[in-house]
Amino acid sequence: MRRTNLFTKTLKNAPADEVAKNAQLLIRAGFIHKEMAGVYAYEPLGLRVLENIKQIVREEMNAIGGNEAMMTTLQPREIFEKSDRWDDKKVDNWFKTKLVNGSELGMGLTHEEPIVDMLSSYINSYKDLPMNIYQIQNKFRNEKRAKSGLLRGREFVMKDMYTFARNQEEHDRLYEQIAVAYHRVYARLGIGDVTFRVKADGGIFTEKYSDEFQTISPIGEDTIYHVPDTERYFNQEVAPSKAPVHEQDIEQKPMEEKYTPGVVGVEQLAKELDVPVERTVKTMLYDVDGIVTAVAVRGDYSVNDIKLRMELSAKSARLIDESTIKQVTGAEVGYAGLINLPNDVQVVVDDTVESLVNFELGANKTDYHNVNVNWGRDLEKPERFYDIKEAKEGDQDPETGRTYEVVKAVEVGNIFPLETKYTDALDVFYTDENGAKQSIIMGCYGIGISRLVGMLAEHFADDKGLVWPMNIAPYKVYLVSIGEKGAAEADKLYDELIKEGIEVLYDDRDERPGAKFADAELLGIPLRVTVSDRGIEAGEFELTERAVGETIKLNREALIAKLLMLAANS
Amino acid sequence: MRRTNLFTKTLKNAPADEVAKNAQLLIRAGFIHKEMAGVYAYEPLGLRVLENIKQIVREEMNAIGGNEAMMTTLQPREIFEKSDRWDDKKVDNWFKTKLVNGSELGMGLTHEEPIVDMLSSYINSYKDLPMNIYQIQNKFRNEKRAKSGLLRGREFVMKDMYTFARNQEEHDRLYEQIAVAYHRVYARLGIGDVTFRVKADGGIFTEKYSDEFQTISPIGEDTIYHVPDTERYFNQEVAPSKAPVHEQDIEQKPMEEKYTPGVVGVEQLAKELDVPVERTVKTMLYDVDGIVTAVAVRGDYSVNDIKLRMELSAKSARLIDESTIKQVTGAEVGYAGLINLPNDVQVVVDDTVESLVNFELGANKTDYHNVNVNWGRDLEKPERFYDIKEAKEGDQDPETGRTYEVVKAVEVGNIFPLETKYTDALDVFYTDENGAKQSIIMGCYGIGISRLVGMLAEHFADDKGLVWPMNIAPYKVYLVSIGEKGAAEADKLYDELIKEGIEVLYDDRDERPGAKFADAELLGIPLRVTVSDRGIEAGEFELTERAVGETIKLNREALIAKLLMLAANS
């Protein structure tokens, strides 16, 4: 492609309302156009990157037997009602629209239901399974805020795969096969060495973890806990954790009730009572699947709702309201503790509290806390302690006892066991070898294609602009002509490179060399070839690798051989 | 792909509510899935056809310098307000939705406005033009009824290209270049010999025709007028026409006013008055750009609103309401004529009326018609007669005098001059060589990709099922194994064909030969190869061409050579 035939130009500035670095860069370089917050059009260069990523993903999904389909954006409400995901109270980010006759339609937020519904025409017997279907399609999510550029859009491109298995073993095999394919995708995208499979929340359909693929990157918004020298990676939201040991008193002191009116927060309380924060205990009241539960954790930690839910094998765990707190504790909010709770309150205590001696605890009495509380003497020691705390830096992995390494990362994919939730809800079963009706176990597997465009743009960028890995670059070569003779020679080289099958963006504009070089850097095409009047005289062409910034001089033959080698190496 | 790995099956029946033959066939064959009326998901086979068509279109658009982009589905209202296409009263088939904050959004109905808006970042000077941009994207149209399967959907895939030119000459050159590219597309789709460029309504932005590409086909819903042995093709909606000459009386008879109460319709009137229909005259009252206009046409023709608008270079021409008719004619509806009309009424008479002698005419008097009316004697003969009639079979082309050939056809593309309507509306101009601000002339060019899937499916189908042209078939070869030895040999052949780069769908199912053959025919894969136990013994493979139905027997080497030749020939 010749620059003079490309409609985009590099821009000095992105729109003032664009705060995401990935979108700023991609807009300035003419890869995308902002239609509105979270909604971006792809200009020719951006579309080529998007398509290159799609193609890599497609090839790897096909290689494991994926059936590529393409579901629709317009969705009938009925199928989402069957799975209870239609109501805006249940799913709060639908875009909905209406037919002329007034019937409400949804805009493809997710496609579990339509895929399962389609399959109902085709699945009858055990012979029809297992099955593996995917699509690469636009998704629409009505996000309240959309400030992350391509990392979280209201309209975005996603690869979503769905598997359907006859039993857990078959499901697990498909699931692991796809995890391997995901690693191949990331390797081909140039982030294989920094992308890891990370355990994350499994949601409410399963007691298992889901798996995220996270790329370690300074641009990351997620926090990952890694056990050094192992494959154990956890998203902070589910990281099991053990607090480092703190020395405790040897002698138990007498318990005392302290008057602490209006003391807010653990830090202030610890100071007021002259107790180290590590010897305070926070008690929070939860509704866990309908059971009032007092959840206690050491004062310098907080309760992790997801871990709480998982530890109790519950479907939901949420803080209860103020009036119930008062009713249960007999005190204003802020004074909940573990002593003198009604008998029907379930008690769940984090293991950080187990070894404490002479600890502080809310007194279940307005304006009072107890100090020098001790297990066994002042209250019964629970038979079991739990790990329901939010992990923090310095914590250890309970399984290996090793201290976590904590890193920032960007989610680049996820895979998820759905059990039989959607297949059962949409009444799709299979008949087994014995003629018995059986549930179908489903998994779903996502890769945000447009998210990857933004993520890779930002991850690899330097202070001069974009730096695309060879495999997904919109073009492999940026050809720059300087001077009249240079232009004539560059014209010939352009034709020849195209004949050789090398994708070239040819800067044939009537512009200063500096402007062309600056554009080459902002656009991030991996290889720059410069053909100048002066070079021609010396029989030399300049080849610059964008990522390393080094320039070498080659004669024509050597240049073409080198370009072929570098471009093929992808 | 192995059939056992493909999730679709052929179905006995399409959904009962599916009335379109193209959709019925494609659903039964497992190419598409109906989500709701006018909304279809693509299953693997259908997606492959869709992608093959996209790719052909893409290659031809790129070959003429098209910049491929990808606009968004979610659209801000502001840009459509600028061109006055937001209001549902102006454009009645929007799907609209809302952001969480309540702002209304549109769903990509068409993309002139967003494309022009995007270009505003890049077009300043004459050096930035001409430009040619296209996308292949989903469109959403809230059609009241959607009963034509893929031929007219609520959600469908379209290739839309837009050109931007500095002057009319440049626009015309781009326009003709794209018309040529369109012909190449249709040739590659296997309909080149029956697809023609047809003049059609140019709409309200231009006094010119637009151009449709129409494929002559018995499944067609459009009527095309063709002047034999020429390139002159017209959509009926704009076909210029001359009625065949009818003999007229030599002597003028005295005009008479006839009492004709309650006579409805031209046929009944002619009978009642004993006048041939060809000597009756219909007068209709129109509002043409605000001017009351009496439009007269011979009784056996009807007025063509589009031709009327074009002949008068008007922006709009529509029938006036009943109360205005009464006011203008002084009579009830049904008695309008040309005699005694108010002076400020514009009179437009079709050329079918010019040569009439002793003709009938409404009397502008309730319950009365005049007979034996004659030009010059009973009313002034207009200086000019127009061609504003709906063409009908038997009519002649006024330019060549030859009688039209009238055929049914399906629209497979259109190209359209938009003049400066959208560029002006969105304030996008360029600065010419002299520093003067100039309007940009725009054209738009559509090909309905999903429509083509349905059109080609239905056009080529026979009573056994689909018959895909080689170029767009989901696979080139349908490999059928029969018996155990056949299956072992077919396995080997499958691997070998894939190695040779031939796309094969391998029916490896444990099914009766008859069921496999029936599926092969319904699916319409161009070449069927049968590997049977009996064939193996004779060292023979059967090759059947779907379109012609003939089977030949070949040895292995000859088979592979033949398949390579046939598949490459596409």
pLDDT computed for residue B206 by the predictor: 72
Asked whether the beta carbons of residue A155 and residue B114 sit closer than 8 angstroms, the reply is: no
| Burial (CB count <10 Å: 0-12, 13-18, 19+), residue A88 | exposed
Q: Over 90: is that where the pLDDT of B527 sits?
A: yes
pLDDT computed for residue B151 by the predictor: 96
Query: In this structure, are residues B506 and B522 in contact, taking their beta carbons and an 8 Å threshold?
Result: no
Q: Over 80: is that where the pLDDT of B264 sits?
A: no
Query: In this structure, are residues A318 and A241 in contact, taking their beta carbons and an 8 Å threshold?
Result: no
Q: Over 80: is that where the pLDDT of B566 sits?
A: yes
Architecture of domain B3-240+407-457: 2-Layer Sandwich (3.30)
pLDDT in tens, A146-170: 999 999 999 999 999 999 999 999 9
Which member of B100, B107, B138 has the closest CB to residue A142?
B100
Find the range with the poorest average confidence among A362-366, B211-215, B566-570: B566-570
Report chain B's terminal Cα–Cα distance, integer Å: 20
Q: Which residues of B touch A69 (CB under 8 A)?
A: 41-44, 47
Greatest extent of chain A over all pairs of C-alpha atoms, in Å: 95
pLDDT in tens, A112-126: 999 999 999 999 999
pLDDT computed for residue A264 by the predictor: 77
Asked whether the beta carbons of residue A41 and residue B72 sit closer than 8 angstroms, the reply is: yes
Q: Over 60: is that where the pLDDT of B390 sits?
A: yes
Across residues A315-325, what is the average pLDDT?
93
Q: Over 70: is that where the pLDDT of A570 sits?
A: no
Asked whether the beta carbons of residue B71 and residue A41 sit closer than 8 angstroms, the reply is: yes
pLDDT computed for residue A64 by the predictor: 97
Q: Which two tokens stand for residue A200?
A: 């994350």
Indicate the pLDDT class of residue A138, thresholds 50, 70 and 90.
Answer: very high
- Separation between Cα atoms, residue B164 and residue B208, nearest integer Å: 18
pLDDT computed for residue B265 by the predictor: 85
- Separation between Cα atoms, residue A529 and residue A523, nearest integer Å: 14
pLDDT in tens, A347-385: 999 999 999 999 999 999 999 999 999 999 999 999 999
- Give the distance from residue B174's alpha carbon to the nearest chain A alpha carbon, in angstroms: 14
Q: Which residues of B touch A72 (CB under 8 A)?
A: 35, 39-41, 155
Q: Which residues of A touch B101 (CB under 8 A)?
A: 144
Across residues A425-434, what is the average pLDDT?
97
pLDDT computed for residue A567 by the predictor: 87
Query: In this structure, are residues A389 and A297 in contact, taking their beta carbons and an 8 Å threshold?
Result: yes
**If one looks up domain A15-194+418-457 in CATH, what number appears?**
3.30.930.10
Which of A33, A119, A143 is the best mutation test for B, with the most CBs of B within 10 A?
A33
Q: Is A405 helix (H, G, I), strand (E, B) or coil?
A: strand
Residue A64: φ, ψ to 5°: -105, 20
pLDDT in tens, B215-228: 999 999 999 999 99
Q: Which residues of A touch B11 (CB under 8 A)?
A: 121
Report DSSP letters for A429-495, one per residue: -EE-TTS-EE--EEEEEEEEHHHHHHHHHHHH-BTTB----TTT-S-SEEEEEESHHHHHHHHHHHH
| Burial (CB count <10 Å: 0-12, 13-18, 19+), residue B424 | middle
Dihedral, CA of residue A319, residue A325, residue A328 and residue A332, to nearest 10: 150
Strand-pair category, B210-216 with A281-288: unpaired
Sign of the CA dihedral with A356 first, then A358, A359, and A365 last: positive
Report DSSP letters for A173-231, one per residue: HHHHHHHHHHHHHHHHTT-GGGEEEEEE---TT-SS-EEEEEEE-TT--EEEEE-TTSS
Residue B410: φ, ψ to 5°: -115, 130
The boundaries of every CATH 3.30.930.10 domain in chain A are: 15-194+418-457
Report the percentage of chain A scoring pLDDT > 90.
94
Asked whether the beta carbons of residue A121 and residue B42 sit closer than 8 angstroms, the reply is: no
Give the containing element (helix H, strand E) for A361.
strand A359-362
pLDDT in tens, B23-46: 999 999 999 999 999 999 999 999
pLDDT computed for residue A262 by the predictor: 85
Q: Over 80: is that where the pLDDT of A301 sits?
A: yes
Q: Which two tokens stand for residue A252?
A: 């138990």
Asked whether the beta carbons of residue A43 and residue B118 sit closer than 8 angstroms, the reply is: yes
**If one looks up domain A256-373 in CATH, what number appears?**
3.90.960.10
Asked whether the beta carbons of residue A97 and residue B99 sit closer than 8 angstroms, the reply is: no
Residues shown for chain B: 570
Strand-pair category, B551-554 with B541-545: antiparallel
Q: Which two tokens stand for residue B517?
A: 């053959």
Q: Over 70: is that where the pLDDT of A400 sits?
A: yes
Indicate the pLDDT class of residue A85, thresholds 50, 70 and 90.
Answer: very high
Q: How far is CA A139 from CA A5, A27, A403, B64, in A?
A: 32, 21, 39, 32
Asked whether the beta carbons of residue A35 and residue B74 sit closer than 8 angstroms, the reply is: yes
Asked whether the beta carbons of residue A73 and residue B142 sit closer than 8 angstroms, the reply is: no
pLDDT in tens, B417-472: 999 999 999 999 999 999 999 999 999 999 999 999 999 999 999 999 999 999 99
pLDDT computed for residue A185 by the predictor: 98
Asked whether the beta carbons of residue A35 and residue B114 sit closer than 8 angstroms, the reply is: yes
- Give the distance from residue B507's alpha carbon to the nearest chain A alpha carbon, in angstroms: 14
* Mutual angle of helices A168-188 and A44-63, in 10-degree steps: 140
Which of A70, A144, A158 is the best mutation test for B, with the most CBs of B within 10 A?
A70
Across residues B62-72, what is the average pLDDT?
97
Across residues A181-205, what is the average pLDDT?
93
pLDDT in tens, A37-64: 999 999 999 999 999 999 999 999 999 9
Indicate the pLDDT class of residue A241, thresholds 50, 70 and 90.
Answer: very high
Indicate the pLDDT class of residue A542, thresholds 50, 70 and 90.
Answer: very high
Asked whether the beta carbons of residue A47 and residue B70 sit closer than 8 angstroms, the reply is: yes
Residue with tokens 């999730």: B7
Q: Which two tokens stand for residue A261?
A: 């009116």
Closest CA to A286 of A323, A313, A315, A325: A325
Closest CA to A458 of A151, A183, A189, A194: A151
Report DSSP letters for B190-213, one per residue: T-GGGEEEEEE---TT-SS-EEEE
- Give the distance from residue B135's alpha carbon to the nearest chain A alpha carbon, in angstroms: 10
ipTM of this predicted complex?
0.93
With a CB cutoff of 8 Å and minimum separation 6, the contacts of B43 are: A67, A69, A118, B7, B8, B30, B31, B32, B33
Nearest residue of B to residue A143 by CA position? B100
pLDDT computed for residue B246 by the predictor: 86
Report the percentage of chain B scoring pLDDT > 70.
99
CB atoms inside a 10 Å sphere around CB B234: 22
Higher-scoring residue by pLDDT: A439, A245 = A439
pLDDT computed for residue B569 by the predictor: 65
Nearest residue of B to residue A38 by CA position? B74
Greatest extent of chain B over all pairs of C-alpha atoms, in Å: 94
pLDDT in tens, A206-230: 778 899 999 999 999 999 999 999 9
pLDDT computed for residue B530 by the predictor: 97
Q: How many CA atoms lie within 13 Å of A176's alpha carbon, on the beta-carbon side?
A: 5
pLDDT computed for residue B568 by the predictor: 82
Indicate the pLDDT class of residue A569, thresholds 50, 70 and 90.
Answer: low
Higher-scoring residue by pLDDT: A14, B157 = B157
The boundaries of every CATH 3.40.50.800 domain in chain A are: 477-568
Q: How far is CA B46 from CA A47, A90, A269, B151, in A?
A: 23, 34, 67, 15
**If one looks up domain B477-568 in CATH, what number appears?**
3.40.50.800
Indicate the pLDDT class of residue B98, thresholds 50, 70 and 90.
Answer: very high
Asked whether the beta carbons of residue B68 and residue A75 sit closer than 8 angstroms, the reply is: no
Q: Over 80: is that where the pLDDT of A15 sits?
A: yes
Across residues A68-97, what is the average pLDDT?
96
Closest CA to B511 of A123, A127, A436: A127
- Give the distance from residue B434's alpha carbon to the nearest chain A alpha carbon, in angstroms: 19
pLDDT computed for residue B570 by the predictor: 56
Asked whether the beta carbons of residue A68 and residue B7 sit closer than 8 angstroms, the reply is: no
pLDDT computed for residue B203 by the predictor: 78
- Separation between Cα atoms, residue A522 and residue A508, nearest integer Å: 17
